[in-house]
Structure formats: structure tokens, C-alpha cells
Amino acid sequence: MRVLLNFEGELAIITLNRPEKLNALDSETRKDFLKAFNEAEERARVAIITGSGKAFAVGADINELILRNPLSSLEAGKLGTELFNRIEESDLVSIAAVNGYALGGGCELAMACDIRIASDKAKFGQPEINLGIIPGAGGTQRLPRIVGLGMAKKLVLTGEVIDANEALRIGLVEDVVPHEKLMEKAKELASKILEKPPLALKFAKKALNASRTMALIDGLKYELSLFSILFSTEDAKEGMRSFLEKRRPEFRGR
């Protein structure tokens, strides 16, 4: 199977499973990934996305790319863009556990996730320029929003591949851990998130995502509206009562 899906309670683990192709994101793999992600949305609140073997994902399969024309490239690019937008906009909190190479579409996939944790063996890059093309599923748009325009230009225009520590330094990932501790760290983070009230998590992600596209004044209004709505929830009352009563809260998503 190209994509594996496992559940541990409300945690979904989605694993790209083409190790012989370094988990290249060809059209069939993207379709299988979307199917797995849809199921994860129905049954889980947090998803860890990772890869099998020595790669997270290395982007499109070059054997498929070389056969494309402008029209087929447009259609394939739409599929990738829609998939990554879906991950970014979903209520499901996504954690990229980057276990190895995250290049091209693989780097774009990681950037679509909410949080990125890297193995100390991970490598990142947008090397499309070396093939005579450019990133086509968010690399020129998400990368500057994450690391800044100048650094994004450096990576995209040179096609440079960087290691995990450099990715941490420029803000492309939030943490770097020893390779053998990667999934342990990702699950630890997922557990912390799963302890939080579901509606507040949903609204927090929406507000944070809005900061990318809204002017500050509009973003502040949107944040305040979501903040105010949460005061109508049982979870908000439970969170405040439990704090005052010095006990562990029991959130129910209501």
C-alpha cells in the first residue's frame, strides 16, 4: 500500500509507504493520501504524517514529470495544491514527523502541516530549479511565510538542500530530535494537544491561519469574534472551574 493509516485513539498516523521510490508523491500516492486523510478527519483530532524508509517524501516522481505537458502539469499541480490546502485548513491538527529527505513536494507537504518535527537525519529543500522548473504546490508561497522572503529566495533560487539543524535555525521546523526518538517526540506532542479542548483548538487554528491572509485590523476582529464565541461553550466553563478548583479539566468538545 502506498499510504498506511493507523489509529491510536484520537491520534491518526499517516505513513507514506513507497520507500523504494523515496516516497515520491506521484498522482496515485496523492490520491491515496487524500483518502487516508479524509478517514483521519472522521476519526481523529490529531494526525502525525511521516514516511517509511529513509525519506519523508521527495516530491513528484521524475519519471512522471518528464512526460507532462503544460495542461497535464496544471491538472497535477491542482491536485497537489488542493491536497496541501486541505491539510492546512482542516480542523485536524497535523504534525509532520520528518524522518528523512523532504524535498520538492515533500517539503511542501511538511510546510502544509501545523507543526514540523525533524529527525537529525532529515534534509529539506526545493530543488525544482535544478530540473528547469519551479515549485508548483506552495513552495514559493508557504516557504517565505515561514522562513522569510530572503531565505526562501536563497533556497528556491539555488535549489540548496539543508540539514535539520539549519532548518531549525531558519524556522522551517520547530524541533530537531535524534532519529530514533522522532515518533516518540511526535506522539508526546500529539498527546499534549489531545488534552486540550476541541473547540478551542479548532478556533485557535482558524485564527492563526487567518493571520497569513488578513490585515492586522481584520485579524484582530476575527480573533475577538472567535474568542467571544468560546465563552458559550461548556468546555470554557469547565476549563475555568477546573483551574479555580485546582483539578484536571474534563473537556467534552461542547
pLDDT of residue 78: 79
CATH number of residue 139's parent domain: 3.90.226.10
Residues in the chain: 254
Answer yes or no: 180 catalytic.
no
How many domains are there within the chain? 2
Q: What is the pLDDT of residue 65?
A: 78
- Supply the pLDDT for residue 150: 97
Average pLDDT, the chain: 94
User: Which helix (H) or strand (E) covers residue 45, if one does?
Assistant: none
Predicted pLDDT at 39 = 96
Residue 148: domain span = 3-194
- What does the pLDDT look like over 79-95, one tens digit per residue? 888 899 999 999 999 99
User: With contact defined as beta carbons under 8 Å apart, do 145 and 87 qualify?
Assistant: no
Residue 61 has pLDDT above 80, yes or no: no
Q: 183 in a domain, yes or no?
A: yes
Backbone angles phi, psi at 39, to 5 degrees: -65, -40
Based on the residue annotation, tell me whether 108 is a catalytic residue of this protein.
yes
Closest CA to 110 of 147, 142, 78: 142
Q: List the single range of 15-29, 107-121, 147-161 with lowest mean pLDDT.
A: 15-29
Percent of the chain exceeding pLDDT 90 equals 80
From 63-77, 174-188, 205-219, 225-239, the region with the lowest mean pLDDT: 63-77
Residue corresponding to grid cell 502544509 = 112
Find where cell 524508509 sits. 53
Q: Which of 194, 212, 232 is the last residue of a domain?
A: 194
Same domain, 120 and 238: no
Given the residues 10, 39, 88, 108, the one annotated as active site: 108
Tell whether 147 is covered by a domain. Answer: yes
Catalytic residue among 28, 39, 128, 245: 128
Q: Provide DSSP, 194-251.
A: HTS-HHHHHHHHHHHHHTTTS-HHHHHHHHHHHHHHGGGSHHHHHHHHHHHTTS----
Mean pLDDT of 149-176: 98
Q: Say if residue 167 is in the same domain as residue 229.
A: no
235 vs 237: CA distance, rounded Å: 5
